[in-house]
Amino acid sequence: MTEIKELTARTGMYFEEFEVGQAITSPGRTITEADVVAFAALSGDWNAMHTDAEYSAQHPFGQRVAHGLLLVSIASGLIMRLGILEETALAFREIESWKFSLPVYLGDTIRVRATVTNTKAMRRLGGGLVSVKVEILNQDDKVVQRGTWGVLVKGRDA
């Protein structure tokens, strides 16, 4: 098993600074009703399980849940708050094998744990691809969503 090397929040890591096994955890963010309503308006997804308290009370979850894709979006923002991709991220390239495991309710607090799983130099693009195992955790440290993200990161010599 690869040793986990904790990263600390800082500004702009270059491709060459990323190593397999590095990990970092974001600060938390509480999911609010305003988040869900704004995402429903933006996406057009007004599914009753997200927006209707009476309907949701009868649903198997028992209450309203946040949109899964809202959480993916918030996760990307939480990773950016860490600063490690500030001014060095060239492109968000891919999401692989994303899994939605547990519901997130209004009032839950999530954070993101990101672990570098692979790096691949792509000099013609000015840096390299950093693959990151992304886990969205709730306030009980349970993984609610997970998968792998690929981010194209600027090289130091670019």
Q: In Å, what is the CA distance from 95 to each residue of 76, 92, 115, 132, 157?
A: 11, 9, 14, 10, 27
The predicted-structure confidence for 1-21, as pLDDT tens digits, reads as follows: 455 678 776 789 999 999 999
The confidence score (pLDDT) of residue 3 equals: 58
Q: Is residue 48 within 8 Å of residue 64, measured between CB atoms?
A: no
Instruction: Quote the pLDDT of residue 4.
Output: 63
For the chain, the structural domain boundaries read 5-154
pLDDT band at 61 (very low <50, low <70, confident <90, very high): very high
Cα–Cα distances in angstroms (integers) from residue 22 to residues 19, 94, 99, in the given order: 6, 20, 22
Render 36-58 in DSSP notation, one character per residue. HHHHHHHH----HHHH-HHHHHH
Q: How many CB atoms lie within 10 A of CB 2?
A: 12
Residue-wise pLDDT tens digits, 70-125: 999 999 999 999 999 999 999 999 999 999 999 999 999 999 999 999 999 999 99
Please give the Cα distance from 122 to 126 (Å, whole number). Answer: 7
DSSP 2: P
Q: Which pLDDT score, from 0 to 100, does residue 1 have? A: 47
pLDDT digits (tens, 9 = 90+) for 34-56: 999 999 999 999 999 999 999 99
Question: What is the reported pTM?
Answer: 0.92
Q: What is the mean pLDDT of residues 134-139?
A: 98
Cα within 13 Å of Cα(28), Cβ side: 12
CATH class of 5-154: alpha beta
Residues 6 or more apart from 126 whose CB is under 8 A from it?
90, 154, 155, 158
